[in-house]
Structure 1
Amino acid sequence: MHTTPLTVLVVGATGSIGRLAVEESVRRGHRTRALVRDAASSPTGADVVVGDLTRAATLAEAVDGVDAIVFTHGSHGSARDAELVDYGAVRNTLATLGTRPVRIALMTTVGVTKHTPGHDWKRRGERLVRAGGLPYTIVRPGWFDYNAPDEHHLVMEQGDRAWAGGPSDGVISRRQIAQVLVASLTSQAATGKTFELAARQGPAQAGLEPLFGALQPDAPDGLDAVLDIQNMPLDKEPATVREQLLDTRDRWLSTERKSL
């Protein structure tokens, strides 16, 4: 497990989970940077950098010198909003990073493989992260804060078969989501893994390494999570999305060849 403090950027830092991710990152001793659109709404305990995650040109300062990025952003509106925010934030941040080696923790959602406009754009964001070749963990949490007071025992599952669209798909506290996201940044056992996250009756575990270690890694050359249903063919995707995925992968492969 990595123990040296990191410089961590939190994307979506003013959101309900982003603020908790900032707190958790600071608590763990990381140098923490919060990306915000308005400095007046900045979370406490972090260095603040102003930028718009939907505009790549505004993100250079945010990603400069970072070791890790936690994505907690999310849209709540139209399909166009989902494209600009859920997908666009990942695309723009990775493009601004270029070839720099940075650890990624990306939050999407349980049920992401069930087709909806919002889910599809989140899933495309996941694919960009996998195509980028950076060390990553992708967390798909259940319904935020629907857990009962005695439901804190964490469960990590794979395959994304919970498609009911309600709390029966899994429940989890916002604070535990933030804890898992930040913990994954320094866990070798969490590297290259995608999982659904929920809590069931019982106390929280003392540590996360056994949970991370029991998960299957994603295929090194795959675009989807290891056990996901294959219901989103790449050749049926929008041409711009295919192009951006291929550009992202080509940039990584070029970097790999140079390092040999």
Structure 2
Amino acid sequence: MSNLEQLSLYLSVNRNNGFVDGVDLQQNIINYLPRLNQFRFKIRSTILLNNQTDLLSNEDIQHTFKNFSNSQIISCVNYFLESNKGQCHIYSCPFTIRSYENIANNFPGGLFTYVCNVSLFDERPFEHEFFIRIAQSFPFIKKLSINNRKAQKNKQNRKLKNNNQDLLIIEYPYLKWLDFDEAHDDYVEQFLLDTKTCLPSNVDLLIDYKPLKRVTHNFRRKTTQNNCAKVRYRCWEKISRFPKHFKDYFLETTNV
């Protein structure tokens, strides 16, 4: 093991004693591998918050990598006070794995051409500009899951900040799977309104029936019909009676 020259490490861990950082990697891995010349990693560590007052910032985590001179290291720290949890992503560049989980609003951006599976989570609202950043950072995204119960604050604003252009319509040309996991209705609108998003054909849509019915105005709303006509709605609930026009609103409907 001490002769190892290349190492790729991809972990998601829960810890009681702080986030995984550069000091951890140096003391517990690198110091034991003297011949290591290539170390790629993507680590997401989660901690429980117990009324700490000395919470580490992203700059604090980044400082622990000051001796990692051979590669660019990105860190991203979040604290979710309602969930009483903290989360820290650290990863080396280039980013070569196929998934990126639990992205929040302070996601630093970048270009992730290998990533096709993305999940989003935050306790603060995701605005339209955030989804623009996601689409630009993950141009080959195929599977997207959204978990956010907070209503958007700027959804009525038809102008981008510091820009006089109309609201940009976002495209996800390779998207195949769209999952609204405990998502506010605003995010269903974000993806189904053709004034905000242009979905490709043959997208599998996973969402509870009631919010879908609300957002589409009982499957009669014109501005959501264009995108709904491109999706296969996967309904896992037992609905006793659908509206007559329900199935005509989607490309395909299936009970799962």
Q: Normalization by structure 1: what TM-score? A: 0.29
Relative to total residues, which structure has the larger strand share, 1 or 2?
2
RCO higher in structure (CA 8 A, sep ≥6): 1
Q: Normalization by structure 2: what TM-score? A: 0.29
